[in-house]
Structure 1
Amino acid sequence: MLVNDLRTVVPAVIAVFLAGCVSKPAPHALTPPDGAGGAFANVSKAPVSTEESPTAWWRLFDDPALDELIADAIAENNDLKAAAANLKSVRAALNAERAVLFPATTVSAGADYARLGGGAAGPLSSVDDDFVYSTGFDLSYELDLFGRVRNIVAAARADLGAAEAALNDLAVIVAAETARAYAEFCAAEVQIGVAEESAALQEETFKLTQRLLDAGRATRLDVARAQSALETTRASIPPLRAAGESAVFRLATLTGRTPKTMLSTIGACDAIPAVTREIPVGDGYALLARRPDVRRAEHILASATARVGAARADLFPQVTLGGSVTSSALEVSNIGSDDSIQFSVGPLITWSFPNIAVAKARLSGAKADAEAALASYNQTVLTALEETETALSRLGRALERAASLERARDAAAEAAELALARYRAGRDPFLTVLDADRTLAESEAALAQARAAAANAQVDVFRALGGGWQALWQNAG
């Protein structure tokens, strides 16, 4: 009877196996879009080179304080710590999935108090209460004929890659935001210095006007105008101090410190950080290989594709080899004796057939998820290219504006000196001096803002290039 059953089952299993061998989904071809490679379109609009972008890009600013802050942020940022913990969780899940590739084993032992007898037909005198001791060993192993287990493990491995890329992407953001906050702090400090210097000059003008009024060479209107200009400049300082303190508090959060601690430890900054050499940006292909968000989207697509394979395998039988050995006896010393051992071994075939509607629905859902992941990957690639081109364009324009405002500041400074000299000589009215001083103060403030915007644009370029996450693993090592 068993022979006849095997003659029926084995050919069917072989036929299903052969069908399953051709059921694996083809992986999506990840080809960059046309125009993704080569130099960027805006490479000529900014002072950049096509050399490979450095990993620790913040060192190009040549500012030891910034280097230290970013190192602290990479090591102590709490969002990064949470992402690193999540990565450990995903890695543990992968190890759990990998375990399915090996036989599952179970060892058991027990002692039960039971009533033993000869059965319903046995004499009543043969019934007795006693302990029954038992041990057992079970083993099962799924024959992964159709790739279900392999695809599940592949999906888990891709999930791990996606979690690692998400951590790297967060490291890029943390490094860039730390550099941005530091630049904002320095910009506020510089603008405060400019405002204080302008206020000092205007105070001298106010005092001079007061002396001229006392000498009968100026009017009360001139004095009021000078005082108004002075107080207006002084009024611009408190918002700048608030902006600087806000940047310090942001740095505290990024580096895992309290605001009070950061206020007491951060030093003075007398210059807005700026990269004075050409920024190496590489090319489009290097960008796509380096940016963690693109790599994350690629891993998500790989995971979704593997899950299509796992769902497709559910259309076919699942074959599991199993075996068990048990031993039970009334005395512990009899455990393992020939009379107490029972064993079983054989295959188990499970198949949701002929009703495979649920399996087909899961397969359709997995295919839809893979299509969505492919579209998301393509969109991530385009977004990466867009962000980089936009950052390069804005950097070029920001530097052009800063250069023009620097020339305007120099001209305004010369005009202010000439106006004051002509006023002292009695050749121009005092209003000309006030107007020249106001123009100079506005030019100084605009130049400081433009330099801050240029520093911010440089940070945007580095963030768009997607480097800096390598420092996370250097610190971890």
Structure 2
Amino acid sequence: MAVGLRRGAELRAARGPPATRYTKETLANPSAADSVRTRQGGSADQSFVSGADIPGQWWTLFHSKALNRLVEQALANNPNLEAAQAGLRIAQQNVLAQKGTLYPTLTATPQAQEAQAPGLNLQSPLNNQSQYLYSLFTPQAVVSYSPDVFGGNRRQIESLEATTENQRFQLEAAYLSLTANVVAAAIQEASLRAQIDATRKVIQAQTEVLGLYNKQLSLGQIAGADVVQQQAALALSQQLLPPLEKQLAIQRDLLTALAGRLPSDEVSETFTLSALRLPTRLPVSLPSRLVQQRPDVKAAEALVQQASANVGVAVANRLPQFNISVTGGSSAVRLAQVVNPGASFFTIIGQTTAPIFDAGTLFRRQRAAEETLTQAQAQYKAVVITAFQNVADALRALQADARAVAAAEAAEQATGKSLELIRKQYTAGAVNSTQVLIAQQGYLSALITSAGARATQYADTAALFVALGGGWWNRNDVAPAPPETDPLKFL
């Protein structure tokens, strides 16, 4: 018992880590430089709202009807979510089955037999042999009960209830993982489309420049080397397009699979960065609430409770086991006589079974159960640390994203204006073709970097919602959580 209380105190300490913030320094809002503002489809400036709650349908904050429809399809059709739901139902049925062990069992064993009296072969053939044959009818019922004197059955029920709780939060984790994967895949598709559009724009611009070079070459205004260089630059840009188109096709297959469909039945929803609105006010739960919100933390906590209950089961197995059985019925040679009070009988049997020598088997099983509890507590602490790490990573990423988006879009605008100016200067003969090529490559790089930076900001925003637990407790289809229980109850 002392061991159980000590470990209960350790679990209680682990469940509420003394943390008042997620990062070492005071968290600053992720804002870009005041002199930089992003274009439509992205916003570098976001603000953290400490203590605010997360909506159950957090993906709706991106204000995309296509994304909302796709998430609904995934939740309705994804087989992994269906499997997790079945796992919860299995655990619930196992709890109900184990609770039946707390009650007596009643079994009926009606019996009818045809018997032969001994000595038949010793009689004369002239005698009536049928008088030595008789029937016996014995309807009876047996009531058996095993008192749970040392709580082994109750601890087994606690273990199965903890398993059910674990399965419940495994289901919530599957729900959160599915919605997060859909959102991440949609953002990645939008990023790929932006990169493809940027590459096509550069290809179009380079094609126009190549046409201009060919005209100038025919007039003898430039050398053939200039045309060859432009052709090489165009070919390099065209080389970037097929891999991006391949990634987009694979991403479409992923979205289709998440929606529970075959690739031949591709989803109709498509995504672009301009169709997604970046949430600017980001709710950040208090650190003291995180362990109650993360499904993986709650699932790990349930495993600690399960391991603790299994220790109790192992201890009870080393103590005497009791069983009481009552058998009652009647027995008669004629069926009509079984209701005669004189044909009735009953027996009452009390039995005790106690281990005397088992070569230390039950003791070692108890020690193994105790070490399993120690292991589960350590794993719980690791999950809690990872949860806080995930939130801190997302917060720091968003701070960096704001600056990255602002810088990338400023670079895109600057390189675009520079390319336009250099092309005009080239037409006027003020610069050579090499400078045009350099400006083209700089603009292409800036376009792709800008698209990637904006997509990363969207993805990291979604990652923050996921790291904070995804708001499952605010969904309409989730039953209210039971009152918080003392961990010592399970220890």
- TM-score for the superposition, normalised by structure 1: 0.88
Say whether the 8 Å CA contact 2:394–2:464 is kept in structure 1: yes
> Would the alpha carbon gap of residues 146 and 454 (structure 1) be closer, same or farther in structure 2, given more than 3 Å must change?
same
Partner of 2:436: 433
1:416 alignment partner, one of 406, 411, 419 = 419
Partner of 1:76: 77
2:187 alignment partner, one of 183, 186, 199 = 183
Partner of 1:37: 19
SS at the partner of 2:270?
coil
> Would the alpha carbon gap of residues 284 and 33 (structure 1) be closer, same or farther in structure 2, given more than 3 Å must change?
same
> Would the alpha carbon gap of residues 67 and 118 (structure 1) be closer, same or farther in structure 2, given more than 3 Å must change?
farther
Cα distance, 1:24 vs. partner? 9.8
Structure 2 unaligned segments of length 5 or more: list them: 31-45, 121-126, 481-491
Cα distance, 1:476 vs. partner? 10
| 2:360 is equivalent to residue 357 of structure 1 | yes
Cα distance, 1:214 vs. partner? 2.1
Partner of 2:231: 227
Cα distance, 1:33 vs. partner? 7.2
| Residue correspondence of structure 1 range 64-463 to structure 2 within 5 A | 64-116=65-117, 128-262=132-266, 265-267=268-270, 269=272, 271=274, 273=276, 275-353=278-356, 357-463=360-466
Cα distance, 1:116 vs. partner? 4.0
Say whether the 8 Å CA contact 1:272–1:452 is kept in structure 2: no
SS at the partner of 1:238?
helix
**CA deviation profile, 1:264-321 (whole Å, cap 9, x unmatched):** x233636374523121121222221011111111111101111111111122222223
Cα distance, 1:322 vs. partner? 2.2
Query: What amino acid is the match of 2:390?
Result: E
Separation in 2, partners of 1:166, 1:139? 40
SS at the partner of 2:106?
strand
Cα distance, 1:415 vs. partner? 0.7
Partner of 1:56: 57
Query: What amino acid is the match of 1:445?
Result: I
Query: What amino acid is the match of 2:58?
Result: W
Query: What amino acid is the match of 1:440?
Result: Y
Cα distance, 1:70 vs. partner? 1.3
Cα distance, 1:118 vs. partner? 9.6
**CA deviation profile, 1:21-66 (whole Å, cap 9, x unmatched):** x799436232247865333217426442211222211111111111
RMSD: 2.7
Separation in 2, partners of 1:68, 1:476? 24
Say whether the 8 Å CA contact 1:298–1:377 is kept in structure 2: yes
Bigger drift between 417-426 and 149-158 goes to 417-426
Query: What amino acid is the match of 2:233?
Result: A
Cα distance, 1:104 vs. partner? 1.3
> Would the alpha carbon gap of residues 142 and 25 (structure 1) be closer, same or farther in structure 2, given more than 3 Å must change?
farther
Cα distance, 1:141 vs. partner? 1.9
Separation in 2, partners of 1:154, 1:127? 61
**CA deviation profile, 1:355-406 (whole Å, cap 9, x unmatched):** 5833222211111111111111111111111122122222322332122111
1:28 alignment partner, one of 8, 19, 27 = 8
SS at the partner of 2:401?
helix
Cα distance, 1:169 vs. partner? 0.9
Separation in 1, partners of 2:472, 2:112? 57
Cα distance, 1:450 vs. partner? 1.6
> Would the alpha carbon gap of residues 270 and 146 (structure 1) be closer, same or farther in structure 2, given more than 3 Å must change?
closer
> Would the alpha carbon gap of residues 386 and 272 (structure 1) be closer, same or farther in structure 2, given more than 3 Å must change?
farther
> Would the alpha carbon gap of residues 383 and 268 (structure 1) be closer, same or farther in structure 2, given more than 3 Å must change?
closer
Bigger drift between 234-243 and 267-276 goes to 267-276
Say whether the 8 Å CA contact 2:137–2:335 is kept in structure 1: yes
**CA deviation profile, 1:62-103 (whole Å, cap 9, x unmatched):** 111111111211221111111111221111111110111111
Partner of 2:123: none
In the alignment of these two chains, the number of paired residues is 453
Separation in 2, partners of 1:261, 1:475? 31
Separation in 1, partners of 2:476, 2:309? 28
Separation in 1, partners of 2:286, 2:422? 52
Separation in 1, partners of 2:422, 2:63? 40
Cα distance, 1:110 vs. partner? 2.5
Say whether the 8 Å CA contact 2:15–2:291 is kept in structure 1: no
Say whether the 8 Å CA contact 2:56–2:475 is kept in structure 1: no
Separation in 2, partners of 1:40, 1:465? 11
Separation in 1, partners of 2:16, 2:297? 17
Matched-pair identity in %: 25
| Residue correspondence of structure 1 range 454-473 to structure 2 within 5 A | 454-469=457-472
Query: What amino acid is the match of 2:308?
Result: T
